[in-house]
Amino acid sequence: MSANQGERARRRLSTGERREQLLSVGARLFSESPYDDVWIERVADLAGVSRGLLYHYFPNKRDFFAAVVERESERMLRMTAAEPGVPVREQLTAGLDTYLGYVQAHAHGFRAFHRADAAGDQAVRRVYRRALAAQEKQILAALAADPEFGPVFARAPHPRLAVRGWLAFTTAVCLEWLRDGELSREQVRDLCARALLGAIA
Amino acid sequence: MSANQGERARRRLSTGERREQLLSVGARLFSESPYDDVWIERVADLAGVSRGLLYHYFPNKRDFFAAVVERESERMLRMTAAEPGVPVREQLTAGLDTYLGYVQAHAHGFRAFHRADAAGDQAVRRVYRRALAAQEKQILAALAADPEFGPVFARAPHPRLAVRGWLAFTTAVCLEWLRDGELSREQVRDLCARALLGAIA
DNA sequence: ACTTTACTTGACGCCGGTTCAACAAGCGGA
DNA sequence: TCCGCTTGTTGAACCGGCGTCAAGTAAAGT
């Protein structure tokens, strides 16, 4: 009766592999449906595994979701690390290209990650906010270090807020971009780049 | 034992009043906690009412949440209706002032409303997206009708996306603004205004 | 007083999250 | 080859909030 991977024989995986597999399935499901439309049973089923095993790896559903979010935030930060020293105007284009590459390559994880914003409890939100803060910090540092934008930026009344807003802008645009792939990556990139330059001008 | 309004004598309200009160309590709770940390029992308790009565007014928890979101979206659209004919630069400042006034006056509802973005099921999201689309349309129309921005705007490759992104920007900034009231309304207003002008430039 | 109807009560089924004791697959040693 | 240990894994029972319902109570209108 179960739709578990077409009844393929159950393999016994190492802890690391199994954990990774469960998180991967979770990312897919959480990207498609809101938090409480995702049944723990279905996660286990798609992984070809029993419900109980999921609770062996994760204490409860909340923490499972938090782990999915955390894994994705780590991947994102790893794939989009900034390269210091390059002028912002160039770094921005290159950085956005990298970022959009990540978004396309890991659309499931990206969507699941941003579901934590409004759907998560305290613990999940903490993970989410930490990742956003890291991105924020990275961008703020790059802007402050730039010869062109550094001085302008120092005078701004609330640079952190501007960057936070811009991250929301970029996220919203990317989610829409994934939804209907009408736009090219370059268009999205340029739109986001202009938005940042505008917000801090 | 129950914390219902300090045991005050139970009043008998008209259907309209009671419905309004329940939605108001719902907005407060949904603004503080994620969807499934809000117990229907607690909503009823805070309203000084039995659980059964809530199910008399709303078919289930999902629809109750949807009603909270819808009520808030109506309020928002009503309070921020655009006045046509005024140049965008002035209309933007005035409109943002109105909007920020709404956000401050109805912080609970505002937060609860935006929880629908990632926490809602299909029905809730439909309500949410409809409200966003209405705002979007309003802004697009104002921009297109403006002598200064109309022509620039007509040439933009994806004006809808820019506006959607800007709405996300504004929302994020407002949520942060509510969280720690460090900034003045004018600062928030000007930041958002600059962001829009930048995004469509 | 009589009617209307907002509202209460309490018991019940359902269903998904959560727990836990037992099972079995791999592996090393004899 | 058998044994025994470790540990990935299972299945079923339990818990608790959602949602239902029928019968009753009391506050407002007339």
Using only C-alpha atoms, chain B has a radius of gyration, in whole angstroms, of: 19
C-beta of residue B109 within 8 angstroms of C-beta of residue B102: no
Summarize pLDDT for B135-186 with one digit per residue, the tens: 999 999 989 888 888 888 788 878 999 999 999 999 999 999 999 888 999 9
Q: Do A172 and B170 touch (CB under 8 A)?
A: no
C-beta separation of A178 from A103 below 8 A? yes
CB atoms within 10 A of CB B181: 9
Three-class SS state of B107: helix
Q: DSSP strand E in A4-97: where?
A: none
CA A160 → C1' C15, Å? 45
- Give the closest residue to B11 by CA, choosing from B48, B59, B65: B48
C-alpha B76/C-alpha B2 separation (Å) is: 34
Residue B8 CB in 7 A reach of strand C: no
pLDDT at B1: 37
A60 CB below 7 A from strand C atoms: yes
Give pLDDT tens digits for B59-109: 999 999 999 999 999 999 999 887 777 888 888 999 999 999 999 999 999
Give the pair of three-digit tokens for residue A32: 């498609």
Say if the Cβ atoms of B118 and A121 lie within 8 Å: no
Residues contacting nucleic strand D by the 7 Å CB criterion are A 10-15, 18, 48-53, 55-56; B 10-12, 36, 38-41, 51-52, 55, 59-62
Across A64-71, average pLDDT: 98
- pTM for the model stands at 0.92
pLDDT band at A10 (very low <50, low <70, confident <90, very high): low
Query: Rounded to an integer, what distance in angstroms lies between the CA atom of residue B68 and that of residue B26?
Result: 7
pLDDT score recorded for residue B150: 85
Q: Taking a C-beta distance cutoff of 8 angstroms, is the pair A90, B90 a contact?
A: no
A125: closest chain B residue by CA? B34
A40 touches strand C (CB under 7 A): yes
DSSP label at residue B8: P
Nearest neighbour of A34 by CB, restricted to B118, B168, B173:
B118
Q: Indicate whether B3 pLDDT > 80.
A: no
